[in-house]
A and B are shown apart, each in its own frame.
Chain A
Amino acid sequence: MSNGKSQEGRGPLMLDNRGVWVYVEQNEGVIEGVSLELLGAGRKLADKLEVPLAGILLGDNVRELAEEIIFYGADEVYVVESPVLKQYRTESYMKGVILLAEKYKPEIFLYGATPNGKDVASAVATDLSTGLTADTTMLDVEVEKRLLEASRPAFGGNIMATILCKKHRPQMATVRPKVMKALERDTARTGRVIEESLEIREEDMRTKVLEIVKDVTKKSLADAHIIVCGGKGMGDERNFGLIHELAGLLGAGVGGTRDVVEAGWLSHDHQIGQTGETVTPKIYFAIGISGAIQHLVGMKNSEIIIAINKDPNAPIFGVSTYGIVGDALEVLPILIKQFKEAFHEKGGEVTHA
């Protein structure tokens, strides 16, 4: 079954590759937020290495997005357009990306850690026989050796691991959404657009996309302005009801830590952290959460973080804007009562804006 492809990319180690690339994910002509964030992060790396930053754009009739990519920080945009690229498919997108990478040889190549971003990156890394670091949350470069330092929380622990790819190029990483900061859109920026064409016919495609269904009923946690998140410190499933109650009053989303989801108190789509959602709401309540890195990476960029925990040394207080050292089971009922008084006394219902 082997196609023998895996050997091709090896041979020369391509250490003379230059340039920082960002895979720009667009869906139906809209650029995903994580791609803009990566242009911001990539800009810093490119400046340190004194190389251009390029955006990689694939799709059907997407050329006009190239300008946007430049406004958000790119010096160059490589565009591949084709009708077979109308919807994402590993087969066609991978071929487009490999074509560009083999021809223009970047040294660093970043992808958003979305389903499609991870999918294409994994395939590309296999063909280019290069290293790919998954779900990174910190990026830096060691300029002298031109090494990408891609860091991510190590399994389970309160510790980060920096992954290096010393002898293979490009150095690739997928990056968690909502961790990096996008630059301000600057329409004064200019850049170069390079177009390439892909020779694939629809008849040769093995995979067809029959239907795309946007699930609008299911409001994503990522869109909530306020999130109330509870941890194992809530004790048991019944006490966790207090989290639901407070969230209900605030019109907030409910989140839980990995422990809570594994204990079955919440379904997986409410999990916040490295293996769940990354969220950046305006107000984030962290209740009964000690603050393992695995959780912190999923919420620390929230605007206001209010933490309640018994242990004054809990790491959650390190990232919190306001902290309360106390028993959540004591504080929450009082908070709920006071909230009802403060808002409902005015005779109205609280609804979410």
Chain B
Amino acid sequence: MSTYSLSDGRASGAPRLSRAPLLAHWFLESGPGILASAAWMIFGLSCLWWEDVGDWSRTHSLGIAAFVIAAVALFGTVSADYLGSAGRALRQRAPWLIALGAFLTLWEVATAKFAWLPLPFFPPPQSIIEVYTDDLPKLLDSVFASVRLQLGGYLIGAAAGFLTGVSIGWSRAVGYWVHPVLRFIGPLPATAWLPIAFFTFPSSWSASTFLIALATGFPVTVLTWSGVASVSTAYYDVARTLGAKPSFLVLKVAIPAALPHVFVGLFMGLGASFAVLVVAEMIGVKAGLGWYLQWAQGWAAYANMYAALIVMSLLCSGAITLLFAIRDRLLVWQKGTVKW
């Protein structure tokens, strides 16, 4: 609408015109961070302002921690330009920090302060913190037991599945014998074996390892097999004319070409094995996070259940992150892979 010339702007409008956009720009950049700081301050206030309806020992510490986080967020936002990548990371995550602060405030008020949600079943945040500080040794033992069981079973299952898949994909004779067995046993949920496994194996630990390996092995086998089977014959032709022996064709052509499929199988196997792990721990093994959940339920210790669930989710997510990191490293040659 209005046009203004350069000289116009320089004469009178310049100081006003340049400051206002600058301020707007600053607010756009830093606004979320400041709001996030405010949200956490409100959360801290909500912890300290009202009396708790129950008896929780960490309310005060939680409130202080919330204020510390608010202060860090504020400082980080104001000086983001000098903090490099950490400052950028904070800016990028500020909207999530707002949401988290608001959610925690709501949770705090709805449970510890006014008990809008029925109490033993919906523990306030401070009682979960209490679990992490007071029941740490037991929780850590459980984490350790779960990781050990999961890792052992998963590695065995993945290795067995990979070898079986390559053998079926490569050799017609192996395929003839293994394929029907695979079709018969594979689709059966591994948990269906639980009762049998627990009395045929010498210990519940070995039985659980077997079940986790079974749950992992099936998808890994099928996808490795389909990966090997779908390798273009042109690759084999090229390698053969260059003097490749059968072992070279398997190790250096079939397997690398099938690797993208193998990782899909490893990913699916990981998901399936988590389910078996938890069930096996709840029913048979007297250790691990699944057992901890079961134990906490028995004592109606609901805060402990939530605390264990959070840890479990972090562990599972971490395992998948690790798998994707390995995949990204091994499959750098692929373009357009999904980022986890």
The answer to whether A and B come from one shared complex is no
Interface residues of A (CB under 8 A from B): none
